Amino acid sequence: MSEHTAGNNPVAAGTKIKSAWMEYVEDSLDSSLVRGGNVFKAYRTTTDQSLTNGVATTLLFNGVTFDVDSLYNSTTGIFSTAAGYYYLYAQATINGLTVGKVATLSIFSSGTGDMATNQLLTPADSEYGFILPVQGVFYTGVPVSVTVKLSLPAGADVVTLVTGQNYSFFTGFRVR
């Protein structure tokens, strides 16, 4: 299990972060829980993606830590599933959104629309940004394309994603 030092994140600089989710995935890789493969983790390596206020933008996680079956496309942000049950988790760490505004992160399927959403009101102490997670176990009866979308309120805020494997990422695996 690797450790990452927090930089521009909602924890104090110099604090070591261990991702419980990554520890769980790494432990599961050798277990019977992950039967179908389709294990992946992609993360944001740069902050240069344009995020438009008032529009749901597909997040492009352009760095890939692992992708067992090569089903995640880092150019389009699409995870292509086969039929089955999946555990998916996405997280966006955001800087620059005005205090009191609501951001929405969604796991979106080409077959069913929003599979899971989470909204967060920007906290008053968001000097270092804030973390917005979304997760769930999903069933797809047919192959679908799955993406992560971030919706920002209308306005003139300049919003960026905090980069790095533990800050803004999309991960998951096929359960069965």
Q: Which domains does the chain have, with CATH numbers?
A: 4-174 (2.60.120.40)
Cα atoms in the 13 Å half-sphere on the side-chain side of 81: 26
Residue 20: DSSP 8-state: H
The whole-angstrom separation of Cα 23 and Cα 116 is 23
In degrees, to the nearest 5, what angle opens at C-alpha 109 toward C-alphas 105 and 113? 75
Residues 6+ apart with CB under 8 A from 175: 33, 34, 35, 36, 84, 85, 86, 87, 137
Is residue 9's pLDDT more than 50? no
Residues 6+ apart with CB under 8 A from 158: 96
Q: Residue 17 has what pLDDT?
A: 45
Is residue 36's pLDDT more than 70? no
Tokens of 4: 């990452």
Q: Report whether 149 contacts 60 (CB < 8 A).
A: no
Any idea which of 68-77, 104-113, 122-131 has the lowest mean pLDDT?
Answer: 122-131
Is residue 106's pLDDT more than 50? yes
The whole-angstrom separation of Cα 93 and Cα 59 is 12
Q: What is the pTM of this model?
A: 0.75
